[in-house]
Amino acid sequence: MMEASKETTPGGQASLAERQFGSQANAYVTSRVHAEGEDIAELAALAAAIPGARVLDLGCGGGHVSYAAAKVAPSVTAYDLSADMVAAVAREAAARGLSGIEAVQGPAERLPFADASFDVVLCRFTAHHWQDVRAGLREARRVLKPSGVAGFADVVAPEQPVVDTFLQTFEMLRDPSHVRNYAVAEWLTMAGEAGFRATALTRRRLPLGFESWIERMRTPKVFANAIRALQSAVADDVRRYFEVDAEGNFVIDTAVLTLRPL
């Protein structure tokens, strides 16, 4: 495991995210929600399309994109802010016999890699925790070769303000390191500003079980109860949008954006 130098302000958002996810590293390695999904195959296919690709899994979390990419590419760098998460991914990669994965620690906004270092940059379910998503996108473009491709998968915010507000609120109650889920239109604008053009967009709906969703972050009971109360208090059309059921289970929007350098 390689460690990059990083500057996190004690008590700042990045420090909070590192603490939140470091303590849950093993839960994310074993999480079925994070280990499964058509989006993983879609991202891995970007790496498979470039023979001998060098791949960066940006904000690797539990490493599930790295494991998939390592089956089709000889070199994968699993990169994450959390030292505990990086260590967990390194252990899991070794256990799976995936010798092509190198685990590196550091922030998305300051990548310790040279310009044009990677053929493929992949990122799944992490950008909504970045302090500065625009800086992260600029860094992703900097380390990507001009002929390369990037794939970003994340929860996306609804366009309707009231539904968006509900999403951001329950995300923050569950996990205070949450910054923002961005709408697809915001993603496209930020990607363009960073020097990317979008070549494909895949939208999906992701079902989430309330109890496992809460347990994964060890959300305090008072906040879990607040989320359930919020689910009951919002307008009927908001509940219908998220398909909230009697147990609090719900469905959210996700998207995969395929980006290429301008």
Residue 244 domain flag: no
186 is written with which tokens?
Answer: 């915001």
Residue 139 domain flag: yes
Q: Which domain holds residue 63?
A: 2-158+177-208+252-261
Residue 201 domain flag: yes
Residue 21 domain flag: yes
126-151 confidence digits (pLDDT tens): 999 999 999 999 999 999 999 999 99
Radius of gyration of the chain (CA): 18
Residue 66 domain flag: yes
Determine the pLDDT at residue 6: 43
Which phi and psi (to 5°) does residue 200 adopt? -160, 150
Query: What CATH number should be reported for the domain holding residue 31?
Result: 3.40.50.150
Label residue 28 exposed, middle or buried (CB < 10 Å: 0-12, 13-18, 19+).
buried
31-48 confidence digits (pLDDT tens): 666 667 899 999 999 999
Structural domain count of the chain: 1
Does residue 9 surpass a pLDDT of 80?
no
Residue 140 domain flag: yes
Residue 223 domain flag: no
182-220 confidence digits (pLDDT tens): 999 999 999 999 999 999 999 999 999 999 999 988 999
Residue 95 domain flag: yes
107: β partners: none
Instruction: Among 1-5, 219-223, 239-243, 256-260, name the one with the lowest average pLDDT.
Output: 1-5
Q: Confirm if 164 and 158 have CB atoms less than 8 A apart.
A: yes
Measured CA to CA, the distance from residue 259 to residue 56 in angstroms comes to 14
Strand ranges across the sheet with 250-261? 2-3, 101-105, 75-80, 54-58, 118-124, 144-155, 250-261, 196-208
Does residue 20 surpass a pLDDT of 80?
no
